[in-house]
Amino acid sequence: MNQRIESPRPSTIEPNATAPVEDLRSALARLAATPGQLIETDREVDPHAELAGVYKRIGAGGTVERPTRLGPAMMFNNVKGYPQSRVLVGLMASRKRVGLLLDAEPRRLTQRMADAVHNAIAPTTVPRDQAPCQQVVHLASDADFDLRKLIPAPTNTESDAGPFLCLGLVLGSDPDTGHADVTIHRLCVQGRDELSIFFAPGRHIDTFRQKAEARGEPLPVSINMGLDPAIHIGACFEAPTTPLGFDELSIAGGLRGKPVELVDCVSVAQKSIARAEIVIEGEILPNVRVVEDQNTNTGHAMPEFPGYNGPANPSLPVIKVKAVTMRHGAIMQTLVGPGEEHTSLAGIPTEASIYNAVEAAMPGFVKQVYAHTAGGGKLLAVLQVNKQSAFDDGRARQAAIIALGVYSELKHVILVDTDVDPFDTEDVMWAMTTRFQGDLSTMFLPKVNGHVLDPSQTPDFNPALPARGVTCKTVFDCTAPFHLRGEFERAKFMDVDPRPFAPELFADAHGDA
């Protein structure tokens, strides 16, 4: 069942392959019933750098410095300095595991998410006695309250600005309309009751914060950790798929076929996710800023999805914490910043957004979209197109332009034919090698908004760029010209069932993480 490392105690997770996933614990039960998808360890681990260092070699993947690999999710049951806490990492750090948790084939996750957008179900509010997240309440007004001792927030590296809440889903509301929004943000623990929050440009909760700050008012928020993975992934859609006023929690409702349950917070005028493991309640203060690495002076924030250490921000808004609520035996959930988990979180919604937009413009033309892990699920997409005529040579490039238009942070698009597997990097590189000529097959779109965390998107790297986060976007057309399609037909092999010849290789269809 779920493999364990140096674990003399009974497993803390009861396997259950058939129960519906409705929170983190039922998600873990499903993984525990699937060989190779979850391991636990009782060996003591330091949350400062060591925990992430261990998982780097177990299953982080993504853009993490090599050596790394894809592997199982991992539960640390013995966290140094936190005898009552457990830390989970890597829940969504493989596409196969996400498919298992979202009841979809890994190659159909794009379409599964795309359908959820069209069949969204709004969240509902439940009474407090039906909200497991409020089983234990810690008020910041208590003399012994201290976030740093209460929550085992890890650092990814020894040079991080401080402990980070890497999977803290922030829920805020528009002060004008009351419309709610959820987004995952970079949250650094700065003191006993303070967090800093980093907003990439254009985030909706930052718009809410600016509105409240213009009035001299704080913005009440909840930070929700340890969730049904449908909530985390659904929250990672962006405009224009989810414009201002669209509640991303409704996408998780569409995925599960029932509404996400919310509950009124105990200390601020906001709601939290009722089945969360841990909730931090607080307010983003108006006109208060802090240096992100004020406690460490490392100059770095944390490793970001492109694989580099993000620079510490010199001026970030502050969340003043009012309370922390928890489930009994709460599980702290985290991720390795540049790992494969970010690709799942950001990339699958990216794929669905592109797929829906292109499908609306040219139905049936784009067969698959893969937001490649080399771009952290944001910067690089592979589109598989189905050419049927010479006119489709142009439609392929139009599909790429639509993709760049619908997802502003996308930097590179690679186009491939239907005989190329977009999820297989070697196959994509084969197409680029044999169906691509740089001077003929490349489209450049200079000086377009991109993503501020890509270190090449700066005037220092390219003086033609006007500001950080502006880039040259590129389309690599690795499709065969339609009139030459006969010259590019792949060698055909006999289609043989290999299982009778090598049954040991196919005995466990679920073991590969």
Q: Left, alpha or beta for 42 (phi > 0: left; psi -120 to 50: alpha)? A: alpha
- 456, with CB counted inside 10 A (0-12, 13-18, 19+), is middle
Strand partners, 371: 381
Task: Let me know if 304 is a catalytic residue.
Answer: yes
CA dist., res. 280 & res. 166, Å (int):
13
Strand partners, 368: 384
Q: Are 328 and 142 in contact (CB under 8 A)?
A: no
Structure tokens at 89: 């990492």
Q: How many CB atoms lie within 10 A of CB 137?
A: 15
Among 292, 304, 340, 409, which one carries the catalytic annotation? Answer: 304
Select from 288, 366, 281, 293 the least CA-distant residue to 325. Answer: 281
Q: What is the distance, to the nearest Å, from the Cα of residue 191 to the centroid of all Cα atoms in its chain?
A: 26
Structure tokens at 122: 């709004």
Strand partners, 272: 263
CA dist., res. 401 & res. 415, Å (int):
11
Q: Are 349 and 329 in contact (CB under 8 A)?
A: no
Give DSSP secondary structure letters for 5-27.
ES--SPPSS---SSSPP-SHHHH
Task: Report, as residue numbers or ranges, the catalytic residues.
Answer: 304
